[in-house]
Amino acid sequence: MIGENIRGNSKTYVVTERLLKSQGDRPNANIYVCEDEKNIKYILKHFYSKTPVSFIGYSKHNHYGRRRDGSHRVFNEIQKKNTQYPFLLKHIERIKHKNKWLIILEYIEGSTLSYFIQKNHPIDFNKVNDAIEQFGLELKNWHSSEFAHGDPHLDNVMISYKNDGSYSIKLIDYGQLHHPDFHYCKKVNCYKDKNKRINEDLKNTNSKLGNGFLNGLTDLEKKLDIPDKLTSIFKKAYY
């Protein structure tokens, strides 16, 4: 796919780099970088194996589907929220290319929070402190706006530098995103217990998805042998 031209609604994108190849026995999507005619970068998520589906009824209490964000309904719901909630990753457009679906997303320059923490500890823990504090504030903003990520692990958190030297945090990969306005959240009554989805973002026991952002920090504490150091920073910012 590298080097291919992808014709969108109002511009053409050139695929320049592959970031992630789907792995395992349940392939989801390949992730690429692409550029438009002005050399502006975007993320291209290519659902190469199966057609994205909004709803898979494995459970009456959830709306699973590994390619949900590529479906017409879910993509449009997220895109509609982009203008109202700037913390959401911008969903640019949805394209059918060679009989397969792909979506064009905002490009984030940076690294995953998991990688960032391990790279900078113990060399410069002030950087780690600032990053986790910013993450706590970002997730608090999400949850106060009634969004829940739905697949909460630290590789779904991107961190990048801003021009003023501070950090920018973006949650990525919205295949399981929840909000009270969304069609399938209403269908399975996601917000019957208002805090259920939010609590799952922090500590999740569902083996199908991420085990929770707070649990992820706890796991890193064990790996780095720094008990309570990461979670205490997060909790101070989040609560």
C-beta of residue 182 within 8 angstroms of C-beta of residue 77: yes
One domain, residues 205 and 98: no
Which CATH number does the domain housing residue 181 bear?
1.10.510.10
Chain segment 146-179, per-residue pLDDT in tens:
999 999 999 999 999 877 878 899 999 999 999 9
Question: Going edge to edge, which strands form the sheet with 157-161?
Answer: 111-112, 157-161, 167-171
Q: Which of 63, 87, 106 is the last residue of a domain?
A: 106
One domain, residues 118 and 84: no
Q: Which of 90, 106, 122 is the last residue of a domain?
A: 106
Q: Considering the entire predicted model, what is its pTM?
A: 0.93
Name beta bridge partners: 12: 7
Which CATH number does the domain housing residue 85 bear?
3.30.200.20
Q: Which of 85, 106, 127 is the last residue of a domain?
A: 106
Question: Is 188's pLDDT higher than 80?
Answer: yes
pLDDT at 25: 44
One domain, residues 100 and 20: yes
Tokens of 21: 């190849």
The answer to which of 31-35, 169-173, 192-196 has the lowest mean pLDDT is 192-196
Number of domains in the chain: 2
Q: Residue 221 burial by CB count (10 A; 0-12/13-18/19+): exposed, middle or buried? A: middle
One domain, residues 56 and 164: no
Domain that holds residue 206: 111-238
Angle between helices 229-238 and 125-144 in degrees, nearest 10: 40
One domain, residues 169 and 97: no
